[in-house]
Amino acid sequence: MAKKPSKTRKYVDMRYIMSPKSVAIIGASEKAGKVGNAIMQNYVDVGFQGRIYPININAEGSIMGYKAYRSILDVKRSIDLVVISVPAKAVPGVMEECCKAGVKGIIIVSGGFAEVGEVELQKRVYDIAQKYNIPVLGPNCLGVMDTRSRNDTLFLPTFKIDRPKIGGVSFVSQSGSVGSSTLDLISGEGFGLARFISYGNAVVIDEVDLLNYLAHDKYTKVIVFYIEGVKRGREFIELAKKVTRLKPVVILKGGVTELGASAAHSHTASLAGSAQAYEAVFRQYGFIEAKNLEELLYFAKVFDTQPPSRGNRVAVITNGGGHGVLATDALYLNGLVLPDITAESKERLRKTMPKIVNIKMPLDIGGDAGEERFSAALDILEDDPNIDSIMSITLFQTPGADEKVADAIIRHGTARKKPLVVVSTGSTYTKSHTSIIEGAGVPVYDSPDSAARALAALLWYSNYKNKVVE
């Protein structure tokens, strides 16, 4: 593993890695099955707006309609980013050429370095980066996806992996497979992504650089990390201490058990620490820890859209009694409470709800509740000073729940007066509504339990921030 200079070194400039105006793909090919073919095809397919230069040592004429070059030195125009996909042994030579050509950033997707014991080869990559002072992402990574500029180096077959829409969550993954499959999973959710970064062996750009970059990135509202080990642990947490005062950082740590750590070692040649040490550090430094992939999604979407929580009192509105019971359990088991609403709220609810509605928490507004009851209840509970956040259980199987109810929820959930999360359990009809609700910026959960976990995470971070930011 290449040694890093002291902590005084500057952060790496990510601009040209992430949002280049021109890209050269070294190893570009028309041969299906080659990584360089998938990358080139992808740049064409996703509609990258900048210039594209395919480079291949055997190139003749053009590749996919773009004029091809045998060497980057033949291009003779300024190039922001180079994506290198050639055999590991050829990488140092190619890098030298790129640096001589004056490129501004390099992504090495090729594997075959420290992760398979080729430590010396990786050291040469590091040395060249140092010599030319050039930002390098990888090797052994998927690279990046930038939803706005459509700079997208993913070399997995396009039809196998959906792309998320544009949004405020940025996702950094040490593991390419966790990164790409989670990216695909996120595409099925209603929320959007700003940046995706798979950084592999981190020979130059590492966790510290990426955390710093995303902290200052105006498009990134929530930072999500999947990490196995952190190379500059001390600097990472010291920086995190500052970043978590500004933005929520959700972290999923692979290798929290000892044997997990040994699996991580064979995977990306990093050394994972013990579960206990990481967990304590995460809490102390303000990270929001996700215990699994599901929580990573639950937390990302609530932080992306909802305002901070001022306390642990969660009002529950429901159009299904049983879900109210499950929500009560889930809130208490996650350290939240069902509040007593004010006498004024009770009076207002009594005036607007039918007699059959029992004015207490959880507020079961009935299986026949439509837009009118949902809206009135949300209005009243938003005004109530005894309530810190709201869980609206909206079961779309009921006769009254329709697009008007969805609209009412969107109206309230995007006003950001108080955190609002929705629970909707179901399939086709339900999902046709929840994808609109979530797409508009109100997080939706399958169960009261997952919604309660999201609200608990939101509260924990809000409290942390209040404590550290005087």
254 forms part of the interface with a copy of itself (CB under 8 A): yes
332 forms part of the interface with a copy of itself (CB under 8 A): yes
Q: Closer CB to a copy of itself, residue 294 or residue 344?
A: 294
For 1, residues 6+ apart whose C-beta sits below 8 A from its C-beta are 114, 119, 122, 231, 269, 270
- Whether the Cβ atoms of residue 144 and residue 198 lie closer than 8 Å to each other: yes
Q: Closer CB to a copy of itself, residue 243 or residue 261?
A: 261
384 forms part of the interface with a copy of itself (CB under 8 A): no
- Rounded CA-CA distance 331/453 in Å is 8
For 15, residues 6+ apart whose C-beta sits below 8 A from its C-beta are 104, 105
446 forms part of the interface with a copy of itself (CB under 8 A): yes
117 forms part of the interface with a copy of itself (CB under 8 A): no
Burial class (CB in 10 A: 0-12, 13-18, 19+), 404: middle
Residues forming beta bridges with residue 26, ordered by sequence position: 55, 84
Residue from 2, 336, 338, 444 binding a copy of itself (CB under 8 A): 338
Q: Kindly state the smallest distance separating residue 34's Cβ from a copy of itself, in Å.
A: 10
120 forms part of the interface with a copy of itself (CB under 8 A): no
Q: Closer CB to a copy of itself, residue 79 or residue 341?
A: 341
Q: Kindly state the smallest distance separating residue 108's Cβ from a copy of itself, in Å.
A: 16
Residue from 78, 257, 284, 466 binding a copy of itself (CB under 8 A): 257
Helix (H, G, I), strand (E, B) or coil at 77: coil
469 forms part of the interface with a copy of itself (CB under 8 A): no
Stretch that binds a copy of itself, among 62-70, 87-95, 209-217, 418-426 (CB under 8 A): 418-426
- Whether the Cβ atoms of residue 110 and residue 84 lie closer than 8 Å to each other: yes
188 forms part of the interface with a copy of itself (CB under 8 A): yes
> Mask: binding to a copy of itself, 63-102, rule CB under 8 A, as x and -?
----------------------------------------
Name which of residues 143 to 182 contact a copy of itself (CB under 8 A).
156-157, 159-162, 173-182
Q: Closer CB to a copy of itself, residue 93 or residue 157?
A: 157
Site size for a copy of itself (CB under 8 A): 79
Q: Closer CB to a copy of itself, residue 50 or residue 367?
A: 367
- Rounded CA-CA distance 446/265 in Å is 35
Residue from 396, 408, 438, 455 binding a copy of itself (CB under 8 A): 396
Q: Kindly state the smallest distance separating residue 422's Cβ from a copy of itself, in Å.
A: 13
Q: Kindly state the smallest distance separating residue 144's Cβ from a copy of itself, in Å.
A: 16
| DSSP conformational letter for 115 | G
Tokens of 242: 């500052």
Q: Is 65 left (phi over 0), alpha (psi -120 to 50) or beta?
A: left
Stretch that binds a copy of itself, among 40-48, 395-403, 411-419, 460-468 (CB under 8 A): 395-403
138 forms part of the interface with a copy of itself (CB under 8 A): no
- Rounded CA-CA distance 9/70 in Å is 35
- Rounded CA-CA distance 48/149 in Å is 7
Name which of residues 289 to 328 contact a copy of itself (CB under 8 A).
291-294, 319-326, 328
Q: Closer CB to a copy of itself, residue 22 or residue 430?
A: 430
Q: Kindly state the smallest distance separating residue 302's Cβ from a copy of itself, in Å.
A: 17
Write b or e for each residue in 308-338: b if 16 or more Cβ atoms lie within 10 A of its Cβ, otherwise e. bbbebbbbbbbbbeebbebbbebbeebebeb
- Rounded CA-CA distance 315/327 in Å is 10
Stretch that binds a copy of itself, among 145-153, 183-191, 302-310, 380-388 (CB under 8 A): 183-191
Residue from 16, 113, 226, 303 binding a copy of itself (CB under 8 A): 226
- Whether the Cβ atoms of residue 148 and residue 219 lie closer than 8 Å to each other: yes
Q: Kindly state the smallest distance separating residue 159's Cβ from a copy of itself, in Å.
A: 6
Name which of residues 2 to 61 contact a copy of itself (CB under 8 A).
33
Give the phi and the psi of residue 83 in degrees, each rounded to 5.
-105, 115
R_g (Cα) of the chain, nearest Å: 25
Q: Closer CB to a copy of itself, residue 16 or residue 199?
A: 199
Tokens of 52: 């594209």
- Whether the Cβ atoms of residue 88 and residue 139 lie closer than 8 Å to each other: yes
Place of tokens 């230069």: 53
Of 210, 248, 249, 250, nearest to 230 (Cα)?
210
Tokens of 214: 């995303």
Tokens of 32: 């299906």
